[in-house]
Structure formats: C-alpha cells, structure tokens
Structure 1
Amino acid sequence: MIKLSIQFFVIIILFSSTIKSSENELDEYFRLYQKIFETFTNNYVDTLDKTELIKLSFDGMFKEVDPYTKLYIGSSKDRLEIMTKGKYGGIGMQIGLIQDTLTVLMPYEDSPSYSEGIQSGDQILMIDTISTIGLTSSESSELIRGELDSKLKLKIRRPSNNKEIFFELIRSNIIVKDVPFWQVNDDGVGYIRIKKFSKNTAKDFRSGLSEILKNSNTKGLIIDLRGNTGGLLSNALNILDQLVPKGESLLKTKGRIDKANRNFKAKFSTKLPKDFPMVVLIDNRSASASEIVSGTLQDLDLALVLGTSSFGKGLVQRIFNVNDSISLKVTTSKYYTPSGRLIQKKDYLDNDVLTDGLEDIDSTFYTKNGRKVKGGGGIYPDLEIEKKKIPPIVQSLYRERLFIKFASEYVFQNNLELPIEISKKTIKDFINYVQNYEIDYIVPGEVELTDLKNSLYDEYGDKSDKKINKYKFQAEDSYVIVDTYGWLRAKNGFGKTVKLLPPTKHNLNTGEYYINELGQIVSKGKLEKTDLEYLSFLTRNLDNYFNEVKVMQYIDEENIKWIENALLREMSSVIGNEKEKIKVSLYNDIEYLKASELILNNYEYNKLIKPIN
C-alpha cells in the first residue's frame, strides 16, 4: 500500500468555476466521478486505501476555496469539541517530548493530575500497561483521554530525586481555562490575558473584569490577545458586550445564504466607567476572533491597539455535525468591523472565489472619532512596537525545552519558594547543566559563510573528482573547542560534538585545537595548499571567528538577560503554575510596560485616541 498526498483532480473538474452546472449536469458529474474513481482504484499498480482517497478528495475540494473549511473525523472531531464545549475527559495536564522523553510540562490547576501531586518535569514512562517509548505527544494524549470516571494508571520518573512513582487517577471533566490570569498592579493598571475564544472564555472574562473593576485603585485595562488565534465568534461578541455601550454596532457578517447576513449590536449596558482607558495587545498570531475584539474596540475608539499587525483572517466558520463521528467546519461569511473594514488578508481572497471586498483592501476607513484605519491585511496597531528577536542560542534552549527541564529539577532539589529570584549562581548552574546537551543553532553570518565556501569550491575546486561534493557536505579534519567554562567538545568535520569532557578530565586552556593523524590534540596550524584543504584555509579565520563567537555565547550580557528571564518564568511556573508564569513575564514585557504607561498618562492616551482635526 502506498501513501498518496494528492489533490484529487476529479474534484477540480467537478467544482470548476467555469462550469455553470444545472442539476442534471451535476448528476452527470457525480456519476463521472464514481466511474473515474472505480477505474483508477481498480487498475492502479498498488493497493490503495479507498477510504483515505475519498478523504483526500474532500481536502482537495476545500483547498480550492479557503484554508479554513475542514472535515473533522474521529479524534480530530474530539479536539474540535474541546474548544466548542470547553471540557474533555482526562486528567488535566500539558505534555510534550523533552529529549525524546514524554514529560509533564504543566499540570492544570484543579485537575486530577494537580490534586494528586504530579509535577512539571515528571517523566511519563507508562500509560496503563503501554510504554511511552517511541510515542508522539498526540498518541500519548489519545491514551490519556478516555471515558469520564474511568481509571488511569501512570508510571512516572521524577528527575529531581530520580525516583519512580505510580499514580492512579480518575478521569474527570477538564474545564479549559483560556482566561488564565488577571490582575491589578500596584499602579492601578488592570490586565487580562485571553489565550483563545473557547466555550468558557466570555464567562471567565466577566469574572476577571468584575474583580478588576471592584478594585478602587483601577485606572484602566490592558487586554492581552497576543498569540490568540481565535475561536468561537459567539464568545468574542459576548466579551464585546461587556465593553461596548448598549446599541453600538459590533460586527457585520455577509454571506451567500440569508442566515449568514447579520448585524450584531451591543445588547447590554457596559459596567465600564466613562472614558475608561483601554489598550489591546496584538501580534502577528492574533487572528479571527482576536481581530474582531481588537478591531471593534479600535473602530469605536474605546481602546488603543498596540503591538504588531495581526494575522488577517476575516472569514467566519460554522460547524455542522454530519454524524456522530464527523463534523464539517464551513466558511459561511466574511466579517466587517463597525467602520466597514474587511480584515481578511489578500492572499486567500485573490483566488476568484472569495473576491467580494477585495477592492477595499487598500481603502481608508474612519473610526468613530475620525481616526484613519486601513482595511485588509489584519488589524494595524495604533502604536507599533517591534519585539526584540530572541538570540539564536536562547531559541535553541527553548526548542530543546531545557529551561523547563532544568527548572523542574532545580526548584525541588533546592527547595525554592515564591517569589523566585534568579541569582548569578543559578545562571551558572544552568549553564553548567546545559553543557551536557548538544545545542544546535546558527549565529548571524554563518549561512553567508557557507554560501562563500560553496562559491569558492564552485570557482576553484577540483572538478575532475566527481565523488567530491560541495564544501558544505565535505568533512574536514576533526577539531576540539574548550569553552570559557572549561568544557571540552571534540567535533567532527561537520561540527557535530562526538565527545564531551568536563573541566576536571583535561588540562587544556580555552581555545580551539585540531586532532592530527596520530590522534593527538595540537594547537591550530596552517594547512597545505591542496584543493579543499587550501579552500578551507582561505576561510579558516572566519571559521575560527564563528567558533569563538559560539564559545562566548554564555557570557554575552544580552544572552544572559534572556536566560535569566526564561529561568524566572519557568521556575515560577513549576511552583505557581501558569498564573505565576504570566505574572513574572510582565516584568520585562516592553509592550505591556508601554501599554501601562499610556493608561497612566491621560494626555498621551487622549492624543492618540482623540486626534485634533
């Protein structure tokens, strides 16, 4: 049997926009589809999974119109219902692979896993009688979920003390909390974080907003929609109902069928004081329902939008249950903010299917106070703030999940408590800890160096030897690097570490060395001028430079700041869960700090939201 990744060509014929089909013509094409399908599958050289092919034909049909219309079958339908129903039968924890080991990243508060004492960093060895070795995170999640009130047994290794522990848990309704944190800081700035617009989001938002407004010190509100990819339209509208004066327009949807054409207005009187300053934080991952909330508040001049331009998804989907195991999510309409803006970005409109409104992409629209706003391409912030890029080495440490791995061991081994303070010793201990792992990353300029090497080989390399590949695939002599902390790394010609020695196992100073033909470690020397060796010599100084740059990454002040902040977040999360992690992450969040500054400065806030004509 072979696995096909195809866009079923018959569907393209069947649904071509150039065919003006009557019902008789459609019947003829359905018969034609069946005949072609049977001819194809009955005569193909290999055995085909007919069911899978039919599923792929649906995917091909949906792909022709937009990327959001999808068919959900089986487990994918279950995942969809987690968002729409807001709960599932499980034990309540986030899991992932760390160094190929299934690990608890975070137990959810008030869940069976949290109540029974499962901790961040715990390694899951067995799920009931099944070993987790070789399982993906998704496969493991399927095993952990099950019928409500059924029993689940887990065998866990706790790295902080290297003990194996057995847990017996009862699966329960896990309530998804997508409004995990709210607060009023010492300056009186309220803050609410919304991760997704799921079943319980509006209700939890109401609880957070009510608590914030009860605080007599509250001077304004920050709504954080960064990284929020959207969700249920109904919950976005319910949240706007809490923020927008009664009778104001919230949203218009336009579609082909009558039910898709609606004009939504605020139903209730808002509890917000008059001229209550608000700032909405967005980024390039804020989409759909996030853009509805931020765009509406911007159009009505009830809030300033701060951050970077949002994703640009202006299409609304409705979910149809085909049967007990299959659901179909269909794009039924486009949405327009109160000023008339269509938020959908052009790339999904420019396909002769979703073209209505395309002419308004570059049009200028006006807010209630007369401010100019743009249509198309998402929500454009009133104040754009570009985030600092995470240094490559820190990205790699995040990717390997070494911050959470270290934190989950270090916190319990050292009996740390909240609030967490990151000392120089903690940072040094972390740096020593990660020396045991291979961290792959590219510093700025390395890609260009590889291009230079390839250009040199193309120009001057020996073309007579067809067995020689381009430089970037050619192994050079092995070499050794000793970093500033004394750790020795023996590397092969491709830069991969093949041996790691701690400072106590050698007597070499910091620097770079080569391994000669006798296997001896010697100081770097000149190479003979022979083909690739000579070409290597021409770029050796640059190679040395980048090796030295990588050796210095753990003493770079900027990198140390990033590492310190990451450790603060992850250690706080291990002890105080997600709420504490979000709280400490705001300490150095430039967008949050700027938003707080605007709320506390009425002059600057009003200057942006009430322009003088």
Structure 2
Amino acid sequence: MKLSNKIIITLLAIGLIGLVSFQVKKNDRYFEIIKNLDVFTTLYKELNTYYVDEVNPTDIMETGIEAMLESLDPYTNFIPEDKIEDYRIMSTGQYAGIGTTMGEIENRHVVMMVFEDSPAEKAGLKIGDELIKINKNAVEDYTTDEINKLLKGQIGTAVEIEISRKSVKKPLKFSIDRESINIESVPFYGMIDENIAYIRLTEFSSGAGSSVRSALVELKGKGAKKVILDLRGNPGGLLNESIEVSNIFIPKGLEVVSTKGKIEEWNKTYTANKNPVDVNIPLAVLISNNSASASEIVAGAMQDYDRGVLVGQRSFGKGLVQATRPLSYNSQLKITTAKYYIPSGRCIQAIDYSHRNEDGSIGKIPDSLKTEFKTRAGRIVYDGGGVSPDHDVINKGYAPITIQLIKKGFIFDFATKYYYENEDMKPDPIAFSISDELYSEFTNWVSGKDYSYTTATEETIKELKETADTDKYFSFLEKEIEALEAEIKSHKKEDLKIFSSEIKLALKEEIISRFHKRQGMIESSFENDEEVDEAIKLLNDEVQYKNLLQAAK
C-alpha cells in the first residue's frame, strides 16, 4: 500500500474516532439530563404525597426552580404567569394604572409620588395621601406589591380608592379610570449654567434615546455649549436604547457594543446607525455604583472613544445579556445568553458578581485579575467589572441621623404638613431654602418622636466588646470603652444641630416635591450635588478636560 493511502486511511480513522467520541459525549449529556429530570420528577411526587405537613405544589416548585437558577447568575430568573406584567413594565416603562408610586412608612401605605398628567393627578390625589381602601377593601395588611397590582388593570377600567389626608378630617373617596402610563425616562433636563445643559436619564425604557435626543436639540437651541448626561442610579433597560443614546454623541457607523455567547446567533455587533446630534460638544457623564447594564454600555462607549469624561464612582458591573424564552402555562425564563463587550474589547461584567459591598459596589479588584485595554486615544483602561470614572468623586451619603429621619418618614410627613400649611405658595426649586426658623420648627416637631439609631461606630464598639470579652481583655478595657460610649451618646444628642445642613437639604427636596413633583426634586438637589459641581468645573476647565481625554505621556 502506498504511503499516501496509509496517511489518508489514518486520518479518516482519527476523524471517525473523534466523531464517535463526540457522539458518545453528546449521548452521555442527554442521558444525564433525562436521568436527573426523572429523579426530580419522582422526588417532587413523593414529597407532595408523603411529607408530614401539607405543602403548596406551586410554591415548592418555584422554590426549587429559584434555587437552581440562583446557582448560575443573579439575572437568570423564572417569571411565573402572575409576574409577567411586572416584567413587561420593567422592560418597557409602560403599564395601565393610575400613575402613582406607593410606599410604606411605619405601617402606613402612602402615595410617595404622583406622575404629571396622570389619572391620579387629574383626580386630585396628592403626595402624602394615606391609602385606606381599594375597591372597598381595607389595605392595612397588604404589601406594597399587592397594592400596586390592585391599582393596575386594563385601560378604561375604574378603581375605587379611599384615602386619609392631613388637611381633611374625613376620608376622601375617588373613582379613577386607569390609563396607559408611560414612565418618563428623562424626568428632567435644562440649563444649569449659562452654557451647560443637564439631562437626567433614569432608565433605558422604550423611547429613551429619542427623549435624550430631543432634549439635547432643544437645549442646544437655548445656547448649550456643553452637556452633562446623568446616569447615576440608572439600572439599565433595553439594549437598543443604549445604542440610540450613544449614537447621539458618536458618528454613524461606529461600534457601540458587541455580544458573545455559547450559541453563535447571540454573537452580534451593534453599531450607531443614525446621524448624531453633536460629536464635538464637551460631555461629562455621571455614573455611580448603581449605574448598570445599558448605562455602562453608554458610559463605556463614551470612554473608549474618548468622547467624554466619566465623573463619579465605578459602575455596577452588569455585562450579561438576557433573553426571554417561553415556557408552558404562559410562564417565561429570563436567561443569560451572552456577555457585553464595549469598543475597547473589555467586558463590563464583574468578575465575581456574587460578592458585593453593602452599597452594591464591586469593591477592590486585585490587579492580577484585571486585563489592560486601551481607548482610541491610547488611554489605559481595565476590565474586571464595571466602568471606572475618569474623575473620581466619593459619594459620602447621609449621616445615620438623616437616614433614620427619612426611613421613619419624619422628613416626609413634615414636608406634607408644610405643604398644607402653605398650599398657595409656589417655591422656586433652586431659590427655596430651609430657614433657621423653619428648621427650628422641624426639630421641635420631631423632638418627642422616636428616631433612635445605631451608628457604624457603635456597631464597631459592640464588636470590640465581644472580641475583648472572648480574649479575656474586657476587664482591662472596660473603662475606656464606657468612656467612648458616653462620648458618642453625648454627641448624638447634638446630631440634629451637627448635621443640620444635610437634614435641611433633605427637607428642601421633599418639600419641593409637593409643589413640583419629580422635576422639582431633581432641580432642587443641585444645591448640594458634588458630582454635578465637579462636572461643571471640568467642563469649564478646557485644559483639564482635554488632559483627561489624552493618553499619559
């Protein structure tokens, strides 16, 4: 036999062995799936038949499904039939209802926000109204989710509600017709400096791109020469809307994001396909720990093309793509199918998405786990999770006393009280301020109420005492620890005075919301918004702005 024939036969044999091996592995996998499904089915049957207590078959199945999916990633979820509507609202920003945001404060169900031009506003509902009944049923034992479901329904149908209002002795009754509610993705835009435009984008729901586009066009017509795009706290949304928003600032044809998954059909590249509004206007993008997904695509694209400076904190790090797959009985599976990659080639998904800080941030990533990439101008950027800002601004947050006053509803209730005592007043969102006299009224009003709280320092001292006691050192440190606790207790008595500035700002925003809704709250917050202040400084400092967008020499 010729040598060439031997080689051909050998290659064919190797190929055949490989094919058989692949087929065996494939069959093994199918057998494993069938075997485990059979085990699960028989276990489920036996459990429902013989378990000592009565079990709800639906609840126990959902528990099993959720536990299985929890072992994968946080975004692969089972959506039962009764939660499909909630998922649709999250995806589109649209639903049929009356146009309110409900919340619970100290076992009271209250109207936290009324959307502009909504059926609720037209009917006369106000922020601060306490919900008592829905369709003649008392709601004191209902959860906020249950109340929201009852307020939603088919367009044109009516819902009867009964509320308690601070300024009225008797309960008020309303019959409100449900309408299609579109939650505005751009609740506020305007000029915050003589030549700086500000656009707040809160979610990437349907139409977000066109809303940002029209806002920028309008503001440029008013003389805007620079722009701040605020994506702080924006959890993301529709992928195509992130393309639309990016396209406003970058040329047609540029890649915005690509996806890569196990199945080839999910490997796609998305490019800007429209004419931009302005590819040269100086841009600052505000991001925070809770800016995720579509927000990170936009911020990442702006950074990778050196199109604008990112200001704030490292973003959330959600770079996983989800798709919904239909299941039986009108349920669905939201399943992760791919990962996002921004133009520099880096993935925005956090390396470890199961362990995060309390505020949702990723925390420090070891250098050994990060890979270096470069922007178009040659600036060095890294993967490892989220997008890092070009200009860091530490978000200090509120002091424990302010958080407790908000949590307990005291700031909310005082704002409602102030509104009904000054209903004819129309305070300017920016010019209005909490005077010392008004703040004194607030401190007197809250003085008899329980707003006790534990600081992080007190928690640390508690841990120190427990550790010292375990180590037999407590007797040596007892006097010093007691003195420290007494000092903190003494200072806490003065917290209303020490933290008066930030409490006043929280009061201002809440009071303004009663008169000007969401738009007013956002506008009034600029008074003490460090990230906005830093963005303004950067945009007004041409040299620093350009330096941040250039590669280090």
Query: 1:41 Cα shift?
Result: 3.3
Q: Within 5 A, what are the aligned runs for 1:480-519?
A: none
Query: 1:173 Cα shift?
Result: 0.7
Q: Within 5 A, what are the aligned runs for 1:312-323?
A: 312-322=317-327
- In 2 relative to 1, CA 445–20 (structure 1 residues): closer, same or farther, beyond 3 Å? farther
Question: What SS does the corresponding residue of 1:42 show, helix, strand or coil?
Answer: helix
The one-letter code sitting in structure 2 at the alignment partner of 1:55 is E
Number of residues of Structure 1 aligned to a counterpart in Structure 2: 515
Question: What SS does the corresponding residue of 2:352 show, helix, strand or coil?
Answer: helix
- In 2 relative to 1, CA 603–77 (structure 1 residues): closer, same or farther, beyond 3 Å? same
Query: 1:76 Cα shift?
Result: 2.3
- In 2 relative to 1, CA 174–51 (structure 1 residues): closer, same or farther, beyond 3 Å? same
- The answer (yes or no) to whether the contact 1:317–1:329 under 8 Å persists in 2 is yes
Please name the residue that 2:212 is paired with: 205
Q: Within 5 A, what are the aligned runs for 1:213-362?
A: 213-215=220-222, 217-272=223-278, 274-322=279-327, 325-348=330-353, 361-362=369-370
Q: Within 5 A, what are the aligned runs for 1:416-431?
A: 416-419=425-428, 420-431=432-443
Is 1:403–2:411 an aligned residue pair? Answer: yes
Please name the residue that 2:99 is paired with: 92
Query: 1:278 Cα shift?
Result: 0.5
Q: Measure, in 2, the Cα distance between the counterparts of 1:119 and 1:401.
A: 16
Please name the residue that 1:377 is paired with: 385
Query: Could you say what the CA RMSD is over the residues aligned between the two structures, in angstroms?
Result: 2.7
Question: What SS does the corresponding residue of 1:445 show, helix, strand or coil?
Answer: helix
Query: 1:378 Cα shift?
Result: 0.9
Q: Measure, in 2, the Cα distance between the counterparts of 1:37 and 1:172.
A: 43
The one-letter code sitting in structure 1 at the alignment partner of 2:490 is E
Q: Measure, in 1, the Cα distance between the counterparts of 2:422 and 2:191.
A: 31
Normalising by structure 2, report the TM-score: 0.87
User: Percent same amino acid among aligned pairs?
Assistant: 31
The one-letter code sitting in structure 1 at the alignment partner of 2:218 is E
> Between Structure 1 and Structure 2, which shows a larger proportion of helix residues?
2
Question: What SS does the corresponding residue of 1:21 show, helix, strand or coil?
Answer: helix
- The answer (yes or no) to whether the contact 1:219–1:600 under 8 Å persists in 2 is no
Q: Measure, in 2, the Cα distance between the counterparts of 1:539 and 1:262.
A: 61
Q: Measure, in 2, the Cα distance between the counterparts of 1:116 and 1:80.
A: 28
The one-letter code sitting in structure 2 at the alignment partner of 1:333 is A
- In 2 relative to 1, CA 29–537 (structure 1 residues): closer, same or farther, beyond 3 Å? closer
Q: Measure, in 2, the Cα distance between the counterparts of 1:120 and 1:89.
A: 20
Please name the residue that 1:552 is paired with: 494
- In 2 relative to 1, CA 267–551 (structure 1 residues): closer, same or farther, beyond 3 Å? same
Please name the residue that 1:489 is paired with: none
Question: What SS does the corresponding residue of 1:586 show, helix, strand or coil?
Answer: helix
Q: Residues 282-326 of structure 1, C-alpha deviation per residue, up to 9 Å, x if partnerless?
A: 111111111111001110111111111111111111123436742
Q: Measure, in 1, the Cα distance between the counterparts of 2:53 and 2:510.
A: 51
Q: Which segments of 5 or more consecutive residues in structure 2 lack a partner in the other structure?
A: 1-24, 356-365
- The answer (yes or no) to whether the contact 1:176–1:200 under 8 Å persists in 2 is no
Match of 1:450 among 457, 462, 465: 462
Q: Measure, in 2, the Cα distance between the counterparts of 1:275 and 1:85.
A: 31
- In 2 relative to 1, CA 313–458 (structure 1 residues): closer, same or farther, beyond 3 Å? closer
Match of 1:126 among 121, 125, 133: 133
Please name the residue that 2:142 is paired with: 135
Please name the residue that 1:561 is paired with: 501
Q: Measure, in 1, the Cα distance between the counterparts of 2:271 and 2:406.
A: 43
Please name the residue that 2:532 is paired with: 592
Normalising by structure 1, report the TM-score: 0.79
Please name the residue that 1:478 is paired with: none
Query: 1:28 Cα shift?
Result: 3.5
Q: Residues 234-276 of structure 1, C-alpha deviation per residue, up to 9 Å, x if partnerless?
A: 111121122210111111111122221101111112120x531
Q: Measure, in 2, the Cα distance between the counterparts of 1:584 and 1:359.
A: 40
Query: 1:435 Cα shift?
Result: 2.1
Match of 2:119 among 106, 112, 123: 112
Match of 1:158 among 141, 165, 170: 165
- The answer (yes or no) to whether the contact 2:379–2:552 under 8 Å persists in 1 is no
The one-letter code sitting in structure 2 at the alignment partner of 1:378 is G
- The answer (yes or no) to whether the contact 2:133–2:163 under 8 Å persists in 1 is yes
- In 2 relative to 1, CA 607–383 (structure 1 residues): closer, same or farther, beyond 3 Å? same
Q: Residues 4-32 of structure 1, C-alpha deviation per residue, up to 9 Å, x if partnerless?
A: xxxxxxxxxxxxxx997343443333333
The one-letter code sitting in structure 2 at the alignment partner of 1:279 is A
- The answer (yes or no) to whether the contact 2:255–2:272 under 8 Å persists in 1 is yes
The one-letter code sitting in structure 2 at the alignment partner of 1:445 is T
Question: What SS does the corresponding residue of 1:221 show, helix, strand or coil?
Answer: strand
- In 2 relative to 1, CA 117–371 (structure 1 residues): closer, same or farther, beyond 3 Å? same
Please name the residue that 1:494 is paired with: none
Query: 1:360 Cα shift?
Result: 9.8
Match of 1:55 among 62, 76, 85: 62
Q: Measure, in 2, the Cα distance between the counterparts of 1:167 and 1:39.
A: 51
Match of 2:444 among 417, 422, 432: 432
The one-letter code sitting in structure 1 at the alignment partner of 2:436 is K
